[in-house]
A and B are shown apart, each in its own frame.
Chain A
Amino acid sequence: MQQIEQEVRQFVIENFVFGNDSNHFSNDDSFLEKGLVDSMGILTLVEFVSEKFAISVPDEDLIPEHWDSVARIGAYVQSRIGKAQTSNQLTTAASVTL
């Protein structure tokens, strides 16, 4: 989880505060309230996260609850990776049973 948050944080710093971390935003700070990331920024973040962590993001998951802070993205990515692993395990188990 820490690793995911670190990668996302680094991406936000490089792409939305242009390498300048002097704003001292915390991983729990709301992007919207801090004015850090607009909707185009969210789109860019979604693309980065999807590719980096090899997860798909359905439209219904594009809500602030999942994307409005570094910590929320970390939790969301963790849950998507977890789901993908469970799904893989079930597929493998089903194959063995067959």
Chain B
Amino acid sequence: MQATLSRFSAEVLELDVAKVAAELEEAIREVILQRLRRKGAVIGLSGGIDSSVTAALCARALGQERVFGVMMPESDSSDDSLDLASQLALTFGIPTIVENIAPTLEAIGCYKRRDDAIRTVIPEYGAGWKSKIVLPNLLDESHYALFSLVAQSPTGEMRRVRLTSEAYLGVVAATNFKQRIRKTLEYYHADRLWYAVAGTPNRLEYAQGFFVKNGDGSADFKPIAHLYKTQVYQLARYLGVPEEILRRPPTTDTYSLEQSQEEFFFAMPLEMLDLCLYGKNHKVAPIEVASAIGMAVDRVERVYAIIDSKLTSTRYLHMAPQLLEPISEVGKS
């Protein structure tokens, strides 16, 4: 008797892109015009794949003149972010504005507070230094995923230190100003135009809590939050998102040293994590996922456990303000 071959593969994430795009466009129209009762969409354009696909879908759904792109570089943004965002806007004919948020961040103390927190673990850290926060790769280690700080001195010397809880929380709290100031500006433009603000997370980011509460986590609608990252890429190709954006590795574009999303949060390649998350969501046995992605079974089991652990530890990020008593008159249509 022949052994049954595993049927689980990356094919489970393949979309009928034309059909999905049409459905999403219809849903965007319904949400913005009927439910939210606004007349367009504001999108923060980062030059990344998620905001590009969101903007393209909105332009097709609402018409390019009803989409407004906001580009918000700051001192640590990579040079190509603005170029790629501009290319995207040009491709889809979306009106845009560039809002440099560096002076606002400077005024609120974002950079100083961050550097002060870093100096608690690297006292000599200062002008000319660059840094990023990284996680160990879960594929290679059975160690706890504790954050480290990688810093580069002005002379190019690299240092890696384990962060204390105080330093980690201090760096993250200061850095979160970036996402929150950006969202403030997006809502400014949405208010003046009577538009709704689009959130741009994909499913991995949304489910695993890879967003800043009241920062990029805040929005009026999140049209691609149910799509796995590899599905976002499929849609991007179908929609005609510029090739340079498709080729750009996902980045947080938040720290002064180049940092991939894998380094900061997911700690494994996104296409593999996509399949693990899909497998877990659909109760696929780890052995099948392991065979499909070429990973040891115990590693996939560990990823499943980490997904659960992240769902628990990031629940707070998804929670709306908690009321202590029900308010019956609110929420009725």
Contacts and interface: CB of A to CB of B under 8 A. Distances in A.
A43 B168 contact: yes
B312 A39 contact: no
A63 B164 contact: no
Interface stretch (B5-13, B141-149, B252-260): B141-149
Contacts of B328: none
Contact of A63 (B144, B147, B312): B144
A55 to B, nearest CB: 15
A32 B143 CA distance: 13
Given A59-B143, A64-B144, A38 B309 contact: yes
A43 B168 CA distance: 10
B146 A38 contact: no
B144 A39 contact: yes
Contact of B146 (A32, A42, A60): A42
B304 to A, nearest CB: 12
B165 A63 contact: no
A41 to B, nearest CB: 9
Contacts of B165: 40, 43-44, 47
B295 interface: no
B242 to A, nearest CB: 37
Band of interface residues on B: 10 to 19
B257 to A, nearest CB: 20
Contact of A38 (B143, B147, B164, B313): B313
A46 B317 CA distance: 25
A63 B309 contact: no
A40 B309 CA distance: 12
A65 to B, nearest CB: 9
B176 to A, nearest CB: 15
A36 to B, nearest CB: 10
A69 to B, nearest CB: 14
A84 interface: no
Contact of A39 (B142, B146, B305): B146
B164 A47 contact: yes
B38 interface: no
Contacts of A59: 143, 162
Interface string B136-159: 000000111111000000000000
A54 interface: no
A62 B144 contact: yes
Contacts of A60: 143
Contacts of A43: 146-147, 163-165, 168
B309 A62 contact: no
Contacts of A62: 143-144, 146
A42 B164 CA distance: 11
A67 B312 CA distance: 19
A67 B146 CA distance: 13
Nearest to B164: A47
Nearest to B313: A38
Contacts of A44: 165
Interface string B85-121: 0000000000000000000000000000000000000
Contacts of B164: 43, 47
A7 B107 CA distance: 44
Closest 5 CB pairs of A and B: A38-B313, A43-B165, A62-B144, A39-B145, A42-B144
28 contacts: A32-B305, A32-B309, A35-B309, A35-B312, A38-B309, A38-B312, A39-B144, A39-B145, A39-B146, A40-B165, A40-B168, A40-B313, A42-B144, A42-B146, A43-B146, A43-B164, A43-B165, A43-B168, A44-B165, A47-B164, A47-B165, A59-B162, A60-B143, A62-B143, A62-B146, A63-B144, A64-B142, A67-B144
